[in-house]
Chain A
Amino acid sequence: MSVEIEQSIARMRLPTGLAGLLPALTLIGLFFVVPVLALLLRSVTDPAPGLQNYAALLGDGTYARVFFNTFLVAFVVTVVTVLVAFPVAWMLAIMPPALASLLFGIIILSMWTNLLTRTYAWMVLLQRTGVINRALMAIGITDQPLPLINNLTGVTIGMVYIMLPFMILPLVGTLRAIDPMTLRAAALCGASPLAAFRRILLPLSLPSIAAGGLMVFVMSLGYFVTPALLGGTSNMMLAEMIAQMIQSLLNWGLGSAAAFILLVVTMALYALQLRLVGSKRPAGGA
């Protein structure tokens, strides 16, 4: 009798349902964890054991410029994305459903359209003789074509374009969860719209802005395609440099060390983002 009970308790404590995870863990373990660890190992063994790859990367002005540039682009892209996304998400949260569905449709279309297609469109649009430059000249904003591509401007436009949906969509959810009554109450108590915005709307959406902004920043840090196509040679970003080190220079040691630095920074920021999302309190404790 008591043996039976003990057995059933033991059975309850046994891990259940682990078997279903086997295929996924095999796949990720063998083809994700092992290759990434092998790459890490290569960064300290190729061409000779030691930390010379990291020393070279962190001690050289050329590489320092790439790191600086990467953070600068990611920062600018994040700030612009947040500033543009907030008013749109605000409107999306409160506009009539028919209008909101239309806007959601546009956002999904832009988000699901092939990445290279979107980047190609910007390459053509932002050219010296492209539509944007001619429109700017036609309405008299500038006399001669502005350099909009192969520089920071081009990368920022292209990246903000890609990141906007990732910022807008989660923000809409947060703004919809705020009770409009709190803002009506503020107005009744004499708060000006600006005060209500600064002291209620903004603080309540701040956790979501921070989490979304951090996600955009992390994604921008490691972005490859858009900077490679819209950026210039003088302001290369980290992902592009890594690809070049491996593909053209065949410098595996340096390339994998740079990749590992990118991995560590990304994962650290991602952990921070998880904490932010986790600490998001339901009612306004910002």
Chain B
Amino acid sequence: MLLDYDRLGWLKAALLAFTALVAAFLLLPVVFIVLLSFGSSRWLAFPPPGWTLKWYQELFADPSWIEAALTSARIAALTAILAVAVGLLASFALVRGEFRGREMLRGLLLTPMVLPVVVFAIAIYAFFLRLGLGGTTVGFVIAHTVLALPFAIIPIATALEGFDKSIEDAAIVCGASPLEAKLRITLPSIRIGIFSAAIFSFLASWDEVVVAIFMASPTLQTLPVKIWGSLRSDLTPVIAAASSLLVGLTLALMVVTALLRRKLPT
């Protein structure tokens, strides 16, 4: 009875009320930040005395915010490309290869996901200081690709495991070269996995704070570093405006993902 939605009785009302509360809790900060960004109070009074767009104007008038956003976008895009390319090759090897220690290697490649980021952050910071890569775009992209790789490998490997290899073999039997068969048969079939990998690696870099705090230099800082710096000095509503734009971006990504999943059924 406990798993029959319509036969739970009073328990259903109680559980639904609790679930609604949790949903409100999850939604609260996101909705609040968007409302706050349009409020006219510099001291973040809520409900605000009036509504305004001036925080957005301040945001767009400050070139350092724009520059930070562009830096983040550039690093995240490069990270996504690199992570998907390296992750794709690795996934083929992990799913189809036959060699000793395969599971161990898979574990090794996924470790950056579970190791506390702060440990990796100080390790790569020290390493890059020595190599002269600290505070450079190359350094950022390398460090973020290490962190993004697990998020690229997992969806691609999952998609590849679900793909019937005999279809690829059939293409080869029909005269396609192995590479051609992979490019024209296999890759299109696992496109959802590749697409998820690209989104997750992009987000892994775009949202990354800890490594970025260590790596950033006065001339090269990502958006999270810029927000972090502002948060530590004061809680200006300009951060709310920047945050709301980030919420908008998240919503856009969710819509694109949902649409693509509907359009490209696997």
Q: Give the B-binding residues of A (Cβ under 8 A).
A: 15-25, 27-28, 31-36, 38-39, 42, 84, 87-88, 90-96, 103, 105-110, 112-125, 127, 130-131, 161, 164, 175, 178, 180, 183-184, 186-187, 193, 196-197, 200-201, 218, 221-225, 229, 239, 242-243, 246-247, 252, 255-256, 259-260, 262-263, 266-267, 270
Q: How far is the CA of A139 from the CA of B56 in the complex (A)?
A: 34
**Inter-chain contact B243/A117, CB cutoff 8 Å:** yes
12 extra A-B contacts, CB within 8 A, seeds A28-B149, A120-B239, A224-B117 = A23-B85, A23-B89, A32-B146, A36-B123, A92-B19, A113-B30, A116-B227, A121-B33, A164-B26, A196-B1, A247-B213, A252-B126
Q: Most chain-A Cβ atoms within 10 A of its Cβ — which of B26, B111, B250?
A: B26
Which residues of the partner chain A approach B120 to less than 8 Å between Cβ atoms?
32, 35-36
Which residues of the partner chain B approach A197 to less than 8 Å between Cβ atoms?
2
**If A94-B4, A178-B3, A242-B122 touch, does A24 touch B86 (CB 8 Å cutoff)?**
yes
B208 and chain A: residue at smallest CB distance: A115
A29 and chain B: residue at smallest CB distance: B108
Which residues of the partner chain B approach A263 to less than 8 Å between Cβ atoms?
115-116, 119
Asked if B118 lies at the interface with its beta carbon under 8 angstroms from chain A, I say yes
Which residues of the partner chain A approach B143 to less than 8 Å between Cβ atoms?
31
The stretch that binds A, out of B59-67, B98-106, B165-173, B187-195, is B98-106
Selected from A20, A27, A90, the residue in CB contact (under 8 A) with B15 is A90
Asked if B127 lies at the interface with its beta carbon under 8 angstroms from chain A, I say yes
Selected from B3, B115, B149, the residue in CB contact (under 8 A) with A24 is B149
Chain B interface mostly? helix
**Inter-chain contact B18/A259, CB cutoff 8 Å:** no
Asked if B16 lies at the interface with its beta carbon under 8 angstroms from chain A, I say yes
Q: How far is the CA of A273 from the CA of B128 in the complex (A)?
A: 32
**Inter-chain contact B3/A221, CB cutoff 8 Å:** no
Q: List 17 A-B contacts (CB under 8 A).
A: A15-B97, A16-B96, A16-B98, A28-B146, A32-B124, A35-B124, A36-B119, A39-B123, A94-B3, A95-B5, A103-B23, A113-B250, A117-B30, A119-B231, A180-B3, A263-B115, A263-B116
Q: Distance (Å) between the CB of B229 and the closest chain A CB?
A: 11
B9 and chain A: residue at smallest CB distance: A193
**Inter-chain contact B94/A110, CB cutoff 8 Å:** no
Which residues of the partner chain B approach A18 to less than 8 Å between Cβ atoms?
93, 97, 99
Which residues of the partner chain B approach A113 to less than 8 Å between Cβ atoms?
29-30, 246-247, 250
Asked if B145 lies at the interface with its beta carbon under 8 angstroms from chain A, I say yes
Which residues of the partner chain B approach A262 to less than 8 Å between Cβ atoms?
116, 118-119
**Inter-chain contact B29/A125, CB cutoff 8 Å:** yes
B99 and chain A: residue at smallest CB distance: A15
Q: Most chain-A Cβ atoms within 10 A of its Cβ — which of B3, B4, B143, B250?
A: B3
**If A106-B27, A109-B30, A243-B122 touch, does A120 touch B15 (CB 8 Å cutoff)?**
no
Which residues of the partner chain B approach A28 to less than 8 Å between Cβ atoms?
108-109, 111-112, 146, 149
Q: Distance (Å) between the CB of B230 and the closest chain A CB?
A: 9
**Inter-chain contact B209/A184, CB cutoff 8 Å:** no
Q: How far is the CA of A225 from the CA of B149 in the complex (A)?
A: 22
Asked if B53 lies at the interface with its beta carbon under 8 angstroms from chain A, I say no
Q: How far is the CA of A119 from the CA of B235 in the complex (A)?
A: 12
A165 and chain B: residue at smallest CB distance: B26
Asked if B260 lies at the interface with its beta carbon under 8 angstroms from chain A, I say no
A12 and chain B: residue at smallest CB distance: B98
**Inter-chain contact B209/A117, CB cutoff 8 Å:** no
Asked if B224 lies at the interface with its beta carbon under 8 angstroms from chain A, I say yes
Q: Most chain-A Cβ atoms within 10 A of its Cβ — which of B29, B33, B213, B243?
A: B29
Minimum-distance CB pairs A-B, first 10: A222-B116, A17-B97, A15-B99, A121-B29, A20-B93, A24-B90, A35-B127, A180-B3, A117-B243, A35-B123
Which residues of the partner chain A approach B135 to less than 8 Å between Cβ atoms?
none
Which residues of the partner chain A approach B247 to less than 8 Å between Cβ atoms?
113-114, 117
Q: Most chain-A Cβ atoms within 10 A of its Cβ — which of B119, B121, B125?
A: B119
Q: How far is the CA of A228 from the CA of B92 in the complex (A)?
A: 40
Q: How far is the CA of A255 from the CA of B119 in the complex (A)?
A: 9
Binary A-proximity of B26-60 (CB < 8 A = 1, otherwise 0): 11111011001000000010100000000000000
